[in-house]
Amino acid sequence: MIRFTRSLKHVASTVRYPSLKRPQYNTSFIRQYPKPLFLTHVPYRAFHYSSIQQITKPFLLADIGEGITECEIIQWFVEPGSVVAEFDKICEVQSDKASVEISSRFAGKVLKLHYDVNDIAKVGEPLVDIEATEDEDTEEGDVKHASQPEVVNSKQEEEEETPMSERSDMFESRAGSILATPAVRRLAKEKGIDLTNLKGSGKDGRILKEDILDKTEKVVTQATAGSISHQQGATISPLTMIQKAMFKSMTKSLDIPQLGYGDEIEMDAVRTYRASLNKHIASHPTLYAFPKVTYMPIFVKCLSMALAHYPIMNAQLIHDGDVQTARLAYRPEHHIGIAMDTKDGLIVPNIKNVQVKSIFEIANEIHRLTELASKSAIGTEDLRGGTITISNIGTIGGTYANPVIVSSELAIVALGRIQRVPRFDENDRVVAKEVMPISWSADHRVIDGATIARFGNYWKRLIENPALLASELR
């Protein structure tokens, strides 16, 4: 638009008219300004204003790591109508590995809780809706455009993304009695669902992905109900989060050929060594958070020393099923896991960097993890990154076991119950000995029998001769 102005800001883009004739309309305002006028193109400047809007923000359950896809709601710290600030606690969730408190990322008013206590929440799905305050800077010239959302031609995109080989199937579906996209038809084929007998819930009877999944769930439920129908009074209950974790990890372990190896460790010398440690603790009670040392810290430290001589036992096998691309990752840190029996089930936290810790420091870590486990409060960091595991099944009972390796490790050892048994000494006399049976499992794809035997013997030698522990210090 062309307008008159006295401003010198646009001199570079103007044309000067020194002899500009006055127009015939009212020119009194020009007489007030005797300086030359310039003719320029001045763009409209939109009117600017700020507005405060109340918007509803869905608070999503974020990924908490370790491949966790769902969590159980343990308790809510808020309810509809509660006002929260950033970082206020929203709820506590129990994954298949640990319990975690979820904090708010928004400040505002809670409008809706999407789950009840004990419901299963999916990662990436809304936990709560929060009415939050948001400042928006808007220009009047942009208001019209902002109020008009961009319209995407989904039909055109679908045609562009759909290969020509699959479009014929889609067109045949539209022309016939079955309306379904190629992706839905592939899913139905994978699940063994006959589309001709399925009523779609979409527009004009279109079959959606949800219809296939609902049908699959019904088929599984009917099959399960039929298989137990003869068992009168049977109670069906879903798996707990920890049971789901065991289900998934042990199912993966079925692909690992597991090599078993058993042995016995004489405990007389280490029993004396442990007694001397506890005598030291008793004389300095203010230095330690625990009243006494169990055998476990000694076993853990000896295992770390053995790993230093046999680093392959601390490695991880990385592969995608192809032997040509398989490789070993040698891990310098010794994150030794300890299987714990809790009220919620089996969990395996690990002690980080055992290679640089003393026996007392290891004992302190075990004490800390035991306290957290009793409260079901072990975090994901304590459960992540284990490199080898010790399972002390002997505290409950039994001698030998068949421990199962998890896919991220190459070995696990189970400790049996310590027994007092007769043994021959060096003079062939029968003497009483305290003996602990042990059971190894190793990944036989990369660990052979000789390796696990030598590694196990080195660990055994350190336990049976605690004086050698000092010789390993650097």
**Which residue numbers are catalytic?**
444, 448
Kindly tell me the burial class for residue 82, based on how many C-beta atoms sit within 10 Å of its own C-beta (0-12, 13-18, 19 or more).
middle
Please check whether residue 461 is in contact with residue 302, taking contact to mean a CB–CB distance below 8 angstroms: no
Q: Which of 34, 43, 33 is nearest to 2 (CA)?
A: 43
Cβ partners under 8 Å of residue 333, min gap 6: 352, 353, 355, 385, 387
Q: Which of 219, 474, 234 is nearest to 355 (CA)?
A: 474
What secondary structure, in 3-state letters, does 331-375 show?
A: CCCCCEEECEEECCEEECCEECCHHHCCHHHHHHHHHHHHHHHHC
DSSP conformational letter for 133: E
Give the C-alpha distances (Å, rounded to integers) separating 440 from 72, 259, 402, 419, 452: 34, 8, 8, 19, 8
Please check whether residue 131 is in contact with residue 55, taking contact to mean a CB–CB distance below 8 angstroms: yes
d(CA 309, CA 173): 65
DSSP conformational letter for 298: H
Degrees to nearest 5, angle at CA 439 with 436 and 441: 160
Stretch (H or E) spanning 104: none
Please check whether residue 167 is in contact with residue 159, taking contact to mean a CB–CB distance below 8 angstroms: yes
How many Cα atoms are found within 13 Å in the side-chain-facing hemisphere of 288? 23
Q: Which of 337, 327, 332, 340 is nearest to 308 (CA)?
A: 332
Can you say whether residue 296 is alpha, beta or left, with left for phi > 0 and alpha for psi between -120 and 50 degrees? alpha
Q: From the CB of residue 98, how many other CB atoms can be counted at a distance below 10 Å?
A: 27
Looking at residue 428, its amino acid is D
Please check whether residue 310 is in contact with residue 451, taking contact to mean a CB–CB distance below 8 angstroms: yes
